[in-house]
Structure 1
Amino acid sequence: MSLSVAGSIATSALRTAEVGMAVAASNVANAGTDGYTRKVASNATSDTAVGYASVDVARIGSNVNQFLLKTIVTAMSGLGAAETRNSYLDQLQSAMGSVTADEDGGGSDLGSMIDAVADVAATLATSPESQSAKAAVVQSVSDLAESLRNISASVQALRAQADDGIAATVDSINRSLGALDDLNGRIVKGRALGQNTADLEDQRNEALKGLAETIGVTYQIDGNGLMRISTTSGKSLLDSSVHALSYTAAASVGAGTVYSATGISGFQGIMIDGTDITTSVKGGTLSALIALRDTDLPAQQAQLDELAMTLKESLNAIQNQGTAYPPPQSLTGTATVAGTDALAVTGGTLRVAVTDSTGTAAEVLDIDLSTMATMQDVVDAINTMGNASASISADGKLVISADSAGNGIALGGAGNGDGGAFSAAYGMNDLLTGSGASDIRISSAVGADSALLATGALSTASGLAAGDAALTSGDGSVAQALKSAFSTPRGFDAAGGLAGRSTSFAGYAGAVIQSAATLADKAATAYESQSSYANGLETSFASQSGVNVDEETAAISTLQSAYEAAAAVMSALQEMFDAALNMVQ
C-alpha cells in the first residue's frame, strides 16, 4: 500500500468519525426538542482501486419506524375527533341544568321545573278560586317554557359554535397544507443536492400529525421525498401543489338551519376543487364538528321539541275544555284561518255563552257543528246573537266578543257535544303558544292576566238559557284536569334517537336529560381511551426513534477513540512521509 493511499484511508476515517461525533452531539443537544428523532450517520465503504477500501458517510437519516408513524397519524385523527366531541357534549349536558337542589329546594333541570308546575297545579285544584294559586301556576308554566327556550337556545348556540369551528378548522387545515407544501419543496430540493434533510423531515412529520388532528388523512412519500396527502375518502389535499378547502360559516343558526348539498339555504358545503366533501369527511376535529352540528345537536333539539309540543298540546287541550271565572270580554284564537276554510271540527255542539261577572248567562247559543261547512258559517251563526259578535281579524284569527264591557264570553259544549274540541282546534283558550322548544311561551293574554287561567267549565246542562248559572266560582274541574296532566302518562313520538313511549312529562324530561348525559359520558370515555392510546403510541415512537442521551454519550466516546486511532495513523504516516523525503534529498 502506498503512503498516499494509506493517507486517504486515514483521512476518510477521521472525517467519518468527526461527522459521527457531530451527529451524536446534535442528538444530545436536541434530546428535549419536540418531534426530534435520533439521527444516524450511515457509513459506506469506498474502493480505492488498489485493493483496499476506505470508509465514508453515505447519508445522515432519522431512525423512524414508518409503520408506527402511520399508526400515530391515524390515532391523531381519532384524538382530534374525540376531544372535540367531549368538549361540546359536556357543554350540552351542562345546558340541560342541574338536578342538585338550589336554595329554594329544587333543581334547575327540566324534570324539577315540571315537578314545580305539578306542585302549584295541585294547590290550584284544591282552591280553584284563588288568584294567588292561579298566578303561581301561570308563573311556573312560564318559567318552564322559558327554560325550554333557554336550553333550545343553548343547543343552537352550540351548533353555531360548531359551524364557526368548521370555518376555523378549514383555515387551520389550509395553513397546515401550506406549511407541508413548503417543507415538501425544501426536502425534494435538498435531496436532489445531496443535502441532509432529516431535520426537515422531522418538521414535516410533526406538521402531518397536526393536520391529522383536524382531518382524517392518508399519505405516501415518493422516491424524491415528496409527500402526497389525501383525505381518507381519497380526495387529494397535497401533491405538487396545495388543494385548499373553502367554507363560509352561516350568518345565523336556528333550529331550522340545516346543511344543504345545493348550498341554496342553510349550511353550505365544504369544498375542494369544486367538490363538496361535507358528507365524506372522516376523522379529526372537522368530522366531529360536522356530526355535532348536523346530527347530535339536532337530535337533542328534536327531543326538546317533542317535549315542548306534547306539553303545549296537552295543556291547551285541557284549558280549551274550560273557561276563566269570570270570563274575558273577548277571545282571540291562535290558529290562522280564512272564512272559506272547512271546519277542523265537523261534529258535536259548540256552546257560546255570554255571562255577567257572576257567571249568570245573558245569552246562550248552541251551534250544531255538523250543519256548518266553513268557518264563515260559524262566524255568521254567532253574529245572530244579540249580545255577542264574531269576526276574522286582519291577521286571520277568529275573534269572539261580548258586546257589553260588563259581560264575558265562555265556550263549551252542550250535552255530549265536545265544544272544547272547537276551542282547541282554533286556540281560543290556549295556555301555551309556539312551534317548538325554541319559541314556546305562555300566551300573551294569560301571561298578562293570570285571572284568565281556566279552572272550571261552562255548564253543559241541556236547555241552558239567559238567567241560568252558566259558571260557578268554585268549579275546579279544569284545575283538577290540569293537576292530573302531570301524573298521567302521555304518548310521546320517537324523536332524536329516543324511542316512542308512554310516560309523564317529567319522565320524558328525564329521558331527554339522560340522553344528553349518556352522550357526554360516552364522549368522555372515548376521549380518555383515545388519548391514552395516542399517548402510548407516542411513547413507543419516542422509545424507538427518540434520543437516549446515555447511548449517544457512549457513541461519542467510541467515535473519539476511533478518531484518535485514525489521527495516530495519520501522525505515523506523516513521519514516514517525512523520512522518505529526507532519504531523497
Structure 2
Amino acid sequence: MDIRSAYSAALSSLNATQYASSITSTNIANANVEGYSAQRVNTATTYSDGSAVGVGVSSVSAYVNENLFKSYVSAVSQTTYAQTTADHLSQLLDQYGAVDSGSALADLITDLETALADLSVTPESQTVKNTVLNAADQLASTLNDLSSDVQQQRENVDGDIENAVTTVNQALTEIEDLNREISVKTALGENTSALEDARAQALLTVSENMNVSYFTTNTNELHVYTTGGLPLVDSRAHELSYESTNNVNAVTSFDDITLDGRDVTNQLSGGTIGALVDLRDETIPARQEELDALAGALADTLNAVLNTGTPFPPQNSITGQEVFDGSDAFSASGTFRIVLSDADGETQSVTDLDLSTYAMVSDLAAALDGIAGVSASIDANGHLTILSDDPDLGIALSEMDSEVGSDAQGVSDYFGLNDLFIGDDAGSIKVRDELLDDPSLLSCGKLSQDATLSVGDVALTSGDASVALALQEAMNTTIDFADAGAMGATTLTLADYSAELLSSFALEVSSVETQAETKGLISETLASDISNESGVNLDEEAARLTVLENQYSASAQVIQTLNDMFSSLISAVA
C-alpha cells in the first residue's frame, strides 16, 4: 500500500467514526424519548481490486426483539382494558356512596323502618305519617338518582367509544403514511429506524384501544388486522365508524361499530374500546338490574301490605294505579268488601262481592257501579275508579280473602287502589302524589272483616295500627330475590339486599382495580425489558463515545504521520 492509499484508508476511518459519533449523540439526545430505539452504525471493509482499502458505513439499524414487542402489544391492550373498566366502575361506585356512609341505601331503608315503627305506636299522628312519607320519598328519590347515574355513566362510556374510535383512526392513518415512507426508504437502502419507531408507537396506540394482530411484509410495511381477521391497515388504512348516542336510558339501542360497512363491535375485544363496550352493554346495565330488583321488591312488598288497609277517615273517591282495558280477563276468587262510611268510621252500607262470578275487568267495574251510592268505571287512562255518590261519605275497602291472577294478589293490590309507591323500577319508582299532598291518606289500620258488620257499626278507627305494624314487619321480612346483575338469587330483607348490593359492587371494583394494577405492572416490566434491549443506555453510549474518540484520534494520528512523511519526502527531493 502506498502513502496515498494509506491516506485514503485513514480518511475513510475518520468519516465512519465521525458518522458513528453523530448517531451516538442522537441516541443520547433521545434517551428519554418514549419508544425510541437506540441506533447502531454498521460498518464494512471497502475493497479495491480485491484488496482492503478502508472502511465505510454499510447501514444504520435499531435492534428490536419482535417477540418481546408482540408480548408488550398484547399486554398494553389487556392493561388498558382493565384500567378503563376500573376507572368507570370506580366513578359509578362513588355515586352509590361508601358502605358506611349515611347516604347508603341500607341506611335510607333503616330510616323508613324507624319511621314505620313510630307510626305503629301513634297511628293517628299526622306528623309521624309525614315523616314516613318523607323517608319513603327520599328512598325512592335516591333510587331514581342512582338509576340516572347508571344511565349517565353509560352515556359517558358511549361518548368515550366514539372518541376512542377517532383515536384509532388517526393512528391507522399514521401507520399508512409511515408504511409508504418506510417502504420507499427501504428500497433505497436508507435508514428507517426513526420511522419504524414512530410506526411502532402508532401500533401501540391502536392496541391500547383494541386487540389486534399484525405482521411486517417483505417491503417493510406493517399490516394490522382485527382479531376477526379484517384488515385495519394493508395497502391502505381502513377506518372504523361510530357515532355515540345522547339521552341514554335503560332501553336505549346503540349503533354498531363498523369497518368498511361491517359490524365489528364483537371483534373489538380488549383495550379501551373493548372495555367500554362491555361496560356499556353488560357491566353497567347489571347495576341497573340490581337497583331495579330492589325498587321492585320495595314497591311490591309495601304496596301489598298497604293495600290491605284503608285510610281514616276514608276517601270519597279512589283511583287505582294499574292500567287495564275493560275487556281484560279477570280471574279471581274469594270476597271483596266495599263499605260506605262517615268521617267517624261508622258503617252506612256494606257490600261483599263474590269475585268468582266476574270474567272481565269490566264485569267487576259494573258490579261496583251497581252498589247503591257508589259509582265505578275504567277511566280513559285505564284506571279503576270508585266514587261515593254522597260527598259526606267515604269509600273503605277490604281485600278479605280475595285472590286475583297468577300471583294471587288481593283486589286492592291488583288494581293499585291504595299503593304507597308507583313505578316498578329504580328509574320510575316514586311515592304516590296523593299521599305526599295529603299524609292523612296513609293507611294505618284495616276495615273490619267481621261477617256480621252492619249499618251503624264502627268499621274502622283512627287508633288501629295493624297495617302500620304489618308495614314495619315487612321491612324485616326476608324476600326471595331472583338473579339480578351480579347478584345471584338470594333471600334477604330489603335492608340486607341493599347492603349486599353495595358491598358486592365495592368488592367488584376492588377486584378490577387489583387486576388493573397487576396488568399494569406486567406492562411496565415488558416496557422495561424492551428499553433494556432496545433503548438508550447512557453509560454504554458514553463508553462508546470514548471508543469513537480514541478511534478518531488514532485515525487523525495516522493522517498526521502521513503528512509528516509527505513533508519529509518533499524535503528530501528538494
Relative to the length of structure 2, the TM-score reads: 0.95
SS at match of 2:150: helix
**2:314 pairs with one of 321, 327, 349:** 327
Matched letter for residue 501 of structure 2: V
Which residue of the partner structure matches residue 32 of structure 1?
A: 32
Which residue of the partner structure matches residue 163 of structure 2?
A: 168
In the alignment, structure 1 residue 499 sits paired with structure 2 residue 488: yes
Q: Residues 413-454 of structure 1: CA distance to partner in whole angstroms, max 9, x if unpaired?
A: 45x556970111111111111131111001121122111111
| Structure 1 residue 252 displacement after superposition | 2.1
Q: Residues 226-284 of structure 1: CA distance to partner in whole angstroms, max 9, x if unpaired?
A: 11111233221112211100001113210112xxxxxxxx1011000111111121111
**2:297 pairs with one of 310, 317, 340:** 310
SS at match of 1:250: coil
In the alignment, structure 1 residue 284 sits paired with structure 2 residue 271: yes
Q: Residues 132-169 of structure 1: CA distance to partner in whole angstroms, max 9, x if unpaired?
A: 11111111111111111111111111101110110111
Matched letter for residue 24 of structure 1: T
Q: Is the 8 A contact 1:48 1:54 kept in 2?
A: no
Matched letter for residue 15 of structure 2: R
| Structure 1 residue 5 displacement after superposition | 3.7
Q: Is the 8 A contact 1:99 1:112 kept in 2?
A: no
Gaps of at least 5 residues in structure 2 are none
Matched letter for residue 178 of structure 2: L
CA RMSD of aligned residues (A): 1.9
Equivalent residues in 2 for 1:361-510, closer than 5 Å = 361-414=347-400, 416-417=401-402, 421-510=410-499
Distance 1:527 1:53 in 2: 59
**2:542 pairs with one of 549, 553, 559:** 553
SS at match of 1:55: strand
SS at match of 2:327: coil
**1:515 pairs with one of 480, 498, 504:** 504
Distance 2:323 2:403 in 1: 21
Which residue of the partner structure matches residue 214 of structure 1?
A: 209
SS at match of 2:46: strand
Matched letter for residue 439 of structure 2: S
Which residue of the partner structure matches residue 239 of structure 1?
A: 234
Q: Is the 8 A contact 1:365 1:382 kept in 2?
A: no
**Cα gap change, 1:290 to 1:51, in 2 (>3 Å):** same
Q: Is the 8 A contact 1:413 1:460 kept in 2?
A: no
Residues 43-52 or 370-379, more deviating: 43-52
| Structure 1 residue 4 displacement after superposition | 4.4
Which residue of the partner structure matches residue 55 of structure 1?
A: 55
Aligned pair count reads 570
Equivalent residues in 2 for 1:11-410, closer than 5 Å = 11-52=11-52, 54-100=54-100, 107-257=102-252, 266-343=253-330, 345-410=331-396
Which residue of the partner structure matches residue 261 of structure 1?
A: none
SS at match of 1:54: strand
Distance 2:65 2:556 in 1: 36
Q: Is the 8 A contact 1:152 1:438 kept in 2?
A: yes
Residues 179-188 or 469-478, more deviating: 179-188
Residues 499-508 or 42-51, more deviating: 42-51
Q: Residues 90-121 of structure 1: CA distance to partner in whole angstroms, max 9, x if unpaired?
A: 112112123445xxxxx101111111111111
| Structure 1 residue 403 displacement after superposition | 1.1
Matched letter for residue 433 of structure 1: I
SS at match of 1:61: strand
Distance 1:202 1:73 in 2: 14
Distance 1:507 1:363 in 2: 44
Residues 511-520 or 152-161, more deviating: 511-520
Kindly, what percent of the aligned residue pairs are identical? 36
| Structure 1 residue 53 displacement after superposition | 5.2
Relative to the length of structure 1, the TM-score reads: 0.93
Distance 1:330 1:197 in 2: 86
Matched letter for residue 157 of structure 2: A
Q: Is the 8 A contact 2:45 2:52 kept in 1?
A: no
Residues 530-539 or 111-120, more deviating: 530-539
Q: Is the 8 A contact 1:92 1:516 kept in 2?
A: no
Residues 523-532 or 296-305, more deviating: 523-532
| Structure 1 residue 574 displacement after superposition | 4.8
Q: Is the 8 A contact 2:46 2:53 kept in 1?
A: yes
Distance 1:488 1:190 in 2: 77
In the alignment, structure 1 residue 8 sits paired with structure 2 residue 8: yes
Distance 1:154 1:205 in 2: 39
Which residue of the partner structure matches residue 262 of structure 1?
A: none
SS at match of 1:52: strand
Gaps of at least 5 residues in structure 1 are 102-106, 258-265
**Cα gap change, 1:563 to 1:99, in 2 (>3 Å):** closer
| Structure 1 residue 289 displacement after superposition | 0.3
Q: Is the 8 A contact 2:72 2:527 kept in 1?
A: yes
**Cα gap change, 1:574 to 1:223, in 2 (>3 Å):** farther
Q: Is the 8 A contact 1:412 1:418 kept in 2?
A: no
